[in-house]
Amino acid sequence: MKSFKYTIKDPLGIHARPAGMLVKVVKEIDSHVTIEKDGKAVAADRLLSVMGLGIRCGDTVTLTITGGDEVTSADTILHFFEQHL
C-alpha cells in the first residue's frame, strides 16, 4: 500500500473536468485508488463519488493506492495531480 497527501492548488478545486480526467487516469492503472478528504474516502474511479467530496482549492486530500504495481501507479497519479491540480 502506498499513500500520499496532496494540497489542491487549482483555484476551482476538483470540478467536473479534472475529476473526469482523474477517473480516466485511475481506470488506466492496475491498482485500486481511494481519495480521502475530511475522513471520507471514496473510490477514485467513480466520477460522482470524487465530485461528491467537494474538494476545493487549499484542501488536502490523501490518496491510497493498493494492489498491482503500487509504486508506478502512485507516481502516475502524483504526476497527474502536479500537472492538473
Active site residues per annotation: 15
In terms of C-beta distances under 8 Å and separation of at least 24 residues, what long-range contacts does 20-25 make, across chains too? 20/47, 21/80, 21/84, 22/50, 22/80, 22/84, 22/85, 23/47, 23/50, 25/76, 25/77, 25/80
